[in-house]
Amino acid sequence: MKNMWWKLLGAALILYTLIGGMTIPLKPGLADIIPTAIKTGEKAEFLVIGYNTNFEQSEGLTAWLKADSIRSIEAIKVVPQSATELVATFLLPNDMPNANSFHPLTVVVNSKADGICVLPGQVALQKGVIDTLNTSQWSSIKSLHRKTDFNFPYRNILVETIRNIFYHVPLWFAMAMVFFIGVIYSILNLRNPLVKYDANAVAFTEIGVLLGVLGTITGAIWAKNTWGQYWSWDIKQNMSAIAIMVYLAYFVLRGSFDDREKSARISAVYNIFAFASLIPLLVIIPRMTESLHPGNGGNPGMGGEDLDHTMKYFLYPAFIGWTLLAVWMSNIRARFLILKDKMMLKFNQ
Amino acid sequence: MVQEIIHLIAKEFRLEMRRKHALGGILLYVISSVYIVYAGFFNIPKQSWNAIFWILMLFASINAVAKSFVQENSGSQLYLYQLAHPSAILIAKMIYNAGLLFLIGILTFVVLSTFTGDQVRDTGMFIGFLALAAIGFSICFTFTAAIASKSNSGTGLLAILSFPVVIPILMSLVKLSANALGLIMDSSYFTDILNLLAIDAMMLALTFLLFPYLWRD
């Protein structure tokens, strides 16, 4: 029982991230707007579709079209149709917000119950006919209600798949950790060839490959929902597939020896070599080329707008939880391998 | 040590000269695969030329390097390890293989260009990248050949072990040679070269750290 605490901690953290990560709702957001093209000087009526919103019983419901930080226009009339639909009427000013002939507008809907909902750059504004009776002017957004409930952020495209960050990213993190521990056992095995070192190196590497496969699968599912395809031959996907191949080669190598001691030594050498080659594969190369994956090819990684503080309460425990679980699994596997080795010795005598 | 290395390189060269059929085999491999490529394509787009060149180069290289450890018998290896320092043997093989791979690269380049027309915009740059490729492939393949030679599976295992590991080097090279072909105009290719050299240096350092555990039986 004395050495159980970290295993229980790992299980508890994973349970916590599973329950919290799956049940906490997203913040209200805007899913769509119709129409998506308007002209200056006209009176435009929009149908705004919300997600997780509560338009009907919202007090202080306002809508804005925002051109930049100081030029916005408030809706003259906002009529909720249902909890997730509202019709907003705008009287657009005669002048364009700047010298361009085309300008993207961001839709902002605000109420006491929903807080600030934003749909960035969805409406295209073009130069229209000047209406002399129109006195509408660009102004800055005033007095927005803020919502402070504990919710995950709403992001267009990501929507509910944002929860995958609690599983996909920690799986890769745990994989790197487990491979690293495996390499340490391989180094120990080279310095002092013992069965327990070899068994641990194999066990940790096996669990690492398992986590890598799971990381690739969760990534593919995420890619299906955000990039459009399970496998889009993105550099990050290719490189992770190759990284798994490097480790599969490790198992092929182990299997090609009859002599146990020799197998342990040579595969330890290859394991260290393979781990070092993982660094250019997963870290350097994807940064050099174009990639859809966050953190690569000039895309922002974790942090900034994408990692809301509410998510950190689950992401960081998930890192620790999955790593502890992976170490636990590897431990069981290593103990099994050591026992198997002892049994073999007994039978051979 | 330097004397040892020079003698060992001379030994590799003399062995190669005695087994001329091995070199002839590589030459035959390059020419016949280029002919197959020619028969299939007639007019190769530059993009494909780049890919095909590196595929030919990769397979020719692995066949050439497989000789160095995998196809030697363990008795003569043991004899050699007693005569010379193991690291000197490794360095000699790497230098010799780098030279051999560079020649194979030039050969593949010449043969492919003769059949499909000279597609390279900047020949000097391309030959420079071939030299970089020879160094990178030599480090990676020589070490994996040393690992593979310890088992009885031979050349097949060498391919399994080395292909995934060589991919970072190969990817950088494909990108660099796209520059020399005029496919992309990237003025900052110098950082790619540095990346490649960094990967080479890392592999080289690991090779020397790990080789002492490898050669002993």
Each residue's pLDDT tens digit, A246-275: 999 999 999 888 888 888 999 999 999 889
B-chain residues within 8 Å CB-CB of A242?
A: 164, 167
Residue B216 scores a pLDDT above 80: no
B168 CA to chain A: closest CA distance, Å?
A: 6
The number of distinct structural domains making up chain A is 2
Identify whether A107 is part of a domain. yes
Q: Is residue A14 part of a domain?
A: no
Assess if residue A79 is contained within a domain: yes
Residues of chain B neighbouring A252 (CB-CB closer than 8 A): 157, 160-161
**Partner residue opposite A280 with nearest CB, options B160, B168, B192:** B168
Q: How high is the pLDDT of residue A267?
A: 92
Establish if A132 belongs to a structural domain: no
Reported confidence tier of residue A306, pLDDT bands at 50, 70, 90: low
Per DSSP bridges, beta strands A37-39 and A29-34 are unpaired
CATH number, position A98: 2.60.40.10
Q: How many domains does chain B have?
A: 1
Q: Are residues A287 and A212 in the same domain?
A: yes
> What is residue A298's predicted lDDT score, i.e. its pLDDT?
56
Same domain, A80 and A189: no
Return the percentage of chain B with pLDDT > 70, whole number. Answer: 99
Mean pLDDT of chain A: 86
Please say which residue of A126, A141, A169 terminates a domain.
Answer: A126
- Residue A347 backbone phi and psi in degrees, to 5: -70, -35
Which residue in the set A242, A272, A274 is minimally distant from B167, CB to CB? Answer: A242
Same domain, yes or no: A117 and A168: no
Domain that residue B33 falls in = 2-215
Same structural domain, A83 and A174: no
- Closest residue, chain A, to B189 (C-alpha): A288
Q: Of the candidates B144, B157, B171, which has its C-beta nearest A285's C-beta?
A: B171
Interface contact A276-B161, CB threshold 8 A: no
Q: How confident is the model at residue A1 (pLDDT cuts 50, 70, 90)?
A: low
Of A256, A257, A272, the CB nearest to B206: A272
Lowest mean pLDDT among A259-268, A276-285, B94-103, B167-176: A276-285
ipTM of the complex: 0.86
pLDDT in tens, B67-112: 777 767 777 778 888 888 888 888 999 999 999 999 999 999 998 8
Tens of pLDDT, residues A150-161:
888 888 778 888
Q: pLDDT at position A339, please?
A: 94
Residue B216 in 3-state DSSP?
A: coil
Whether residues A179 and A41 fall in one domain: no
Q: Is A284 on the interface with B (CB under 8 A)?
A: yes
- Hey, are the CB atoms on A276 and B202 less than 8 Å from each other? yes
> Domain check: are A174 and A228 in the same one?
yes
CA angle at A268 for the pair A266 and A270, rounded to the nearest 5°: 70
Q: Which residue of chain B has the CA closest to A256?
A: B151
Residues A62 and A174 in one domain: no
Whether the CB of B184 is below 8 Å from some CB of chain A: the reply is no
- Model pLDDT for residues A190-247, shown as the tens digit of each residue: 999 999 999 999 999 999 999 999 999 999 999 998 888 898 888 888 888 888 999 9
Backbone region of residue B72 per phi and psi (left: phi > 0; alpha: psi in -120 to 50; beta: other values):
beta
Parent domain of A78: 29-126
**Residue A294 distance to chain B (closest CA, Å):** 20
CB pairs under 8 A between A and B: 79
Q: A302 pLDDT exceeds 80?
A: no
Q: Which two tokens stand for residue B215?
A: 């050669």
**Is the same domain home to A338 and A253?**
yes
Domain boundary pick from A67, A102, A126: A126
